[in-house]
Structure 1
Amino acid sequence: MKNIKSFIAQVLGVVTALAFFTACENDDHVPEFTLQAASENVAFQNTFLAEYLLSTETANNIAERFVWNQVDFGVQTQISYQLEGSISENFDAEPDYQYDSGTLSETNASVTIKNLLAMAAGLGLDDDPATTDGDGNPNNTGTVYFKVTAFVGSGEGTDAVSTTSDVEQLTITLVEKSDEGGSGIQISSWGVVGSGYNDWGAFEDAPFYTTGTDGVYVAYVNLLDGEIKFRENNDWTNNFGDTGADGTLDAGGDNIVVTAGDYKITMDLNDSTYAIEAYSWGVVGSGYNDWGGAGPDAKFFYDYTTDTFKVGVKLIDGEIKFRLNNDWGTNYGDSGADGTLDNGGDNIAVTAGFYAITLDFNTGTYTMEEASIWGVVGSGYNDWGATPDFLFTEVNPGIWIAENVELIDGEIKFRINEDWTVNYGDTGVDGTLDDGGDNIVVTAGTYIITLNLTEGETPTYSLDAR
């Protein structure tokens, strides 16, 4: 028996020793992952503008969408990226004057005009034409710097491996204000009223604007079949009609018969005359409405603060032009791809996205910027997104208009770029816009919807039935 126990003990000892040595051997062969230098340096892929024009009126618009290549560090793990911007080429400026995207998994990031405006403040730029730099030059242009870094994990520590792009210099320019009122044009005391516009005063009259000539006023207005007159201060004390339909303004005169459409109305109180002409600029093309075959052009609205015409629009990959009155008699393209409006010029190539487009006939130029565009969505309009939202246009800073929105009985909300990330409802049914608020109940009809998102004010909305 003793011999048997001794034999068993010897066997167990051998097994234990083998297990020990095997364990040690396995420990020596634990697999290791070795980070390698990037197979390709990270670099920007997008094309940069020669100059980025900045204005507080378009602060929420996208100034540039930075795009870069995907980087491979030779391991099967998540690669992260960080986009940085600064007023200093060494990226050591105060935090308020720098941009930091934070850690990103995607290979793109959008920088807004507001981000660049913060950098402009750090550079001491301003939009006052009366101020200059030390050399007497306009004090509204400067340079900012951007770079992107690709890394694994946190990108920090002694074993960190990363790659950083070349630094890209961007020229930013604040759009100088010509005077306190911007364009110098003001809303006059006169307006358009009637069954052809606002059911004889159910909501505010369509405004006339001042012009460069005293006593001459102009209105850009969408009319319905009906009648109109011109009155002062939304009141009947002073009003003009046209007795005789001869283009002469008559105090308290007959109503003026009009047909539905978009018009420019000029009223001259110096010689008591007026003129009504069809007038509507629009976006047309394969990038919007199949060159007019898929519906009317996207209408521009007048912005008196800049004396320009603006539209918020959703484009698809293709080409566009700008034309008057949904007709090819007068149209503009861009033959040099330089932002200049050329009469009958080349088509303008566009890529899919949401844009704010501005036509400036004073300078003969246009701008087209990716932007955050508000839209109408809901069971009262498009079955909560079954078809595109009805888009607004920012006609003046903070003031958004959606014209002739055909609603049905149901509910609506307002959201940006057909996405729910940012949306407004009305909790309390008090006309105040609430972030993520309750749906707004609507009844069938045709409406002009206005959003007042003026910075520093409580956001509000109005629905005016026509």
Structure 2
Amino acid sequence: MKNIKRFSAIAFFGLFLLIFQACDDSSETFTISAPTAPVLAELNFTDLVLDAVNTNNPAVTLNWNEADYGIQASISYAVQFSKDDVFTAPVTASAVTGRTSVTLSMSEVNTAAGNAGLNPFELKPIFIRVVSSLGSQNTEKSMSNIIQFNVYPYFNYTFKDYYLVGDATAPNWNNNSNNPALFRDPADSNRFYYTGYFGAAQFKVLEVKGLWQPQWGTNDGTTIDVNPGGGTDPGTFPKNNSSITTAGFYKFTIDFATNKFTFEPFNATGITSPASLSLQGSSTANLALSPLSFDGHIWYANSVRLTPGDVEFVTGAGDKWGSSTSFSGTATNGGGTIPVIVEDDYDVWFNDLTGQYIFIPLNL
């Protein structure tokens, strides 16, 4: 009898809660009016030349009147750049919530202009608008008026660079010890080479000096594998943790588009390194390069300031090695000057076995 009473009390209490909740439905439906679009203020200049050196300096401050949706709400704003006034392919340069102004740095404007499709080193118009929206889903978008100015972008360095590590190479297993750079193909930014001396051991490829990931290796001897971070590290080159059988000179080729590599012997017989090598030209005062003690055919200079102009690799005997491609390429004796198109600090690498060079900017 007690069990029956207890069940009845519980059932009655549940029924009471159900009736109470039905009568106390306090959900609200918000209705917004047609929004009044934000109004973007005009600027007091027409041309903006971006500073490639002081990239964190402010470039432009944009102000706009708040959009009006007829309710109290937190409004989000996206600042969009476009190379045309119909915003065929808009790029979001900045996004803020609850604010009606934003200051963009030199690098932020440069990145947005480049992503919008503007070429570097050309003064061309860029179009800007502000898009307001509500909620986390960015609904009820409203576009501001469009303003424009002419912008002169500097270079966007879009290339990736890669470095050797391992006991078959100069830095051993130190991931930040002047690790030799791979030489990028100037016609294919996914293809890299390194021709030089390798010890009878193993090696891997790193994407960032000082970091162990992303880390590249191989598990099957033909395909490259990567740990981008947080995963399992791949095996070492040349094949799944096996060592190079005989120390000597080899040509290593790796293609990050096809995920393939080759590692084959290279005949360095009769190739003599110059007694000295320097970088000369309008971009720098005469700058001496140093050979690696591990492999005297690989020359380098760390963190050297280069200004727009040109350079050549000049031997102690007076030979001048150059080419026509910036950042990376293959120099030949009498091949002309190498263009330096943007000022920055660079790590410079040169291989006298192949004539390959690479200039790696440190701040772009």
TM-score w.r.t. structure 2 length? 0.35
Higher relative contact order (CA 8 A, sep 6+): 2
